Amino acid sequence: MSTMSGLMLLDTPSLYFRAFFGVPESVTAPDGTPVNAVRGLIDMIARLVQDRSPDRLVCCMDADWRPSFRVEALPSYKAHRVAADGGDQTPDALEAQLPIIDAVLDAVGLARVGVPGYEADDVIGTLATRGAAAGPVDIVTGDRDLFQLVADDGPVNILYTARGIRNLQVMGEKEVGEKYRIPGRGYADYATLRGDPSDGLPGVPGVGDKTAAALVTRFGSVAGILAALDAGTEEGFPAGARRRMEAARDYLASAETVVRVVTDIGAPELGSLDDRLPTAPRDPETLVALADEWNLGSPVNRLLNALSR
């Protein structure tokens, strides 16, 4: 049963995208609307609550999937995901389910929050940094970017969903360090150097996994690499790497803004957040109506059973 008590932060967009592509679109409401993402997400939350028993839980949302401060720093950031209308490429069948997801989470009484101008990652970073002072934090995501938040002294762990909710990989500093051969908290610097095509992050030309890992291990961070360049240090750079770093100075300065998760959002939405896990639904009548309208009875009941234990 439980392996933790403390704060659980859900990268909700990561989870509902996973649910959308993992549950057939033939799962529909009586009117034919696909509800595969809604059902899948509710079942994921039920499983997480049942297996991990958090005291507090927040469904973190994207209020802005491509924030202007990141695009201004690096115009290629997520540029390949921009649709013709300027929005993101969320499939229509998923887009139609997002208001239903919001309504169900609210009726259950689960904390749900996004902050204008920021991604879910930044909300997670801020809440994890704040929450770690009070006890353990688990971040549930399929996004490796959030590996940068692991911290053994919280602890802050990532529950990585690549193998599914039933086979979560618990990633702490030790696991991140072993997987990428870097200091456990060095993932953001490693990703900056190596690049990440899924985010439109080019990386430093000619620098792959091994060189990126060697540089982060030797100098600790991108800032440490730049300081070594400024100091004229030759030692510790793999063959050709110093020249490549010099040529990439502008990129490295910009990419830091893009890759680094914000951990200090001061928005009132986060200050007034009630993240206690409910034991009964906040709005039972609305929840029943939603379950009937959208064919959600079974997953909603599984979630309520998990919450009431």
DSSP symbol at 65: S
CATH number attached to the domain at 187-259: 1.10.150.20
Query: What gap in Å lies between CA 92 and CA 104, rounded to an integer?
Result: 19
What sign results for the dihedral spanned by CA atoms 234, 240, 243, 247?
negative
- Rounded to 5°, angle at Cα 51 from 127 and 301: 95
**Longest C-alpha distance within the chain, in Å?**
68
**Can you give the pLDDT of all 309 residues of the chain as single tens digits?**
345 569 999 999 999 999 999 999 999 999 999 999 999 999 999 999 999 999 999 999 998 889 999 989 888 888 888 887 777 878 999 999 999 999 999 999 999 999 999 999 999 999 999 988 889 999 999 999 999 999 998 899 999 999 999 999 999 999 999 999 999 999 999 999 999 888 888 999 999 999 999 999 999 999 999 999 999 999 999 999 999 999 999 999 889 889 999 999 999 989 889 999 999 999 999 999 999 999 999 999 999 999 998
What sign results for the dihedral spanned by CA atoms 281, 37, 291, 298?
negative
Query: What gap in Å lies between CA 203 and CA 207, rounded to an integer?
Result: 7
Half-sphere exposure of 276 (CA within 13 A, CB side): 7
| CA distances in angstroms from 220 to 9, 42, 73, 192, 225, listed in the order given | 27, 40, 23, 13, 8
| pTM of the full structure | 0.94
- Token representation of residue 43: 């079942």
Q: At what angle do helices 222-230 and 209-219 cross, to 10 degrees?
A: 70
Short-list 178, 136, 166, CA closest to 153? 136
Interval 168-206: pLDDT, tens: 999 999 999 999 999 999 999 999 999 988 888 899 999
List CB contacts of 230: < 8 A, sequence separation 6 or more. none
List CB contacts of 82: < 8 A, sequence separation 6 or more. 66, 88, 89
Q: Which CATH number fits domain 7-180+262-307: 2.30.30.180, 3.40.367.20, 3.40.309.10, 3.40.50.1010?
A: 3.40.50.1010
User: Where do you find CATH 1.10.150.20 in the chain?
Assistant: 187-259
Per-residue pLDDT, 198: 84
- Dihedral (C-alpha) 117, 118, 123, 129: value to the nearest 10 degrees? -100
Which stretch of DSSP H or E encloses residue 149? Answer: none
User: Where do you find CATH 3.40.50.1010 in the chain?
Assistant: 7-180+262-307
DSSP symbol at 88: B
